[in-house]
Structure 1
């Protein structure tokens, strides 16, 4: 794929799994570009490796649960679900 014009930003998110209660945070490099046909393209990278969008395809690293609450970075402690 050939792209024209790219923009790169760093964003970080907090996540909480609604299945098992695990909370975690992750930083992403987000590369936005436009292909030659004018279609926007977005790539999410973690440590230089392309990963699925955390906003649409997040999965819990503990239980592989797919019901994930996404929060602003730094919010894991206040949103963490405690199971007795």
Structure 2
């Protein structure tokens, strides 16, 4: 890698499920290799991450349906960021000193499955199992 420069970018997001609004700060390294190819490396808190338009999830509810705003939009609309930061969905284990087992600081919150999907899959399975049970167990012996 020969040429390059860094820029700081803030991306404001809104969750389309729970309407939570937040802003992510990134350091973007723009580099050009020996062959003239331009590459962007996105960093968040010093860790290489995917670009903000690729696979972001809401920190409040875990949904992936998000929208982003133009740069500096939240600084012009402070009423959108009045809510405090949400509690994280899961916390990393805390390892105490010594050889003790790690303990969780908070239980992991699971996102419930959509009820319509469970009904759409469960009703045919129950109907099929009920029919087979009737056919082989409850039906009279001479009707197989």
- TM-score per shorter chain, which class? 0.7 to 0.9
- Please, which runs of 5 or more residues in structure 2 have no aligned partner? 83-144
Once the two structures are superposed, the pairs formed by residues 5-84 of structure 1 within 5 Å of their partners are 5-71=3-69, 72-73=71-72, 74=74, 75=77, 77-78=79-80
**Comparing both structures, which one devotes a greater share of its residues to strand?**
1
Please report the TM-score for the alignment, with normalisation by the length of structure 1: 0.75
Shift >6 Å, 4+ stretches: none
- Please, which runs of 5 or more residues in structure 1 have no aligned partner? none
Root-mean-square deviation over aligned CA pairs: 2.2
Distance 2:2 2:62 in 1: 36
**Comparing both structures, which one devotes a greater share of its residues to helix?**
2
Please report the TM-score for the alignment, with normalisation by the length of structure 2: 0.47
- Offset at residue 42 of structure 1 (A): 0.6
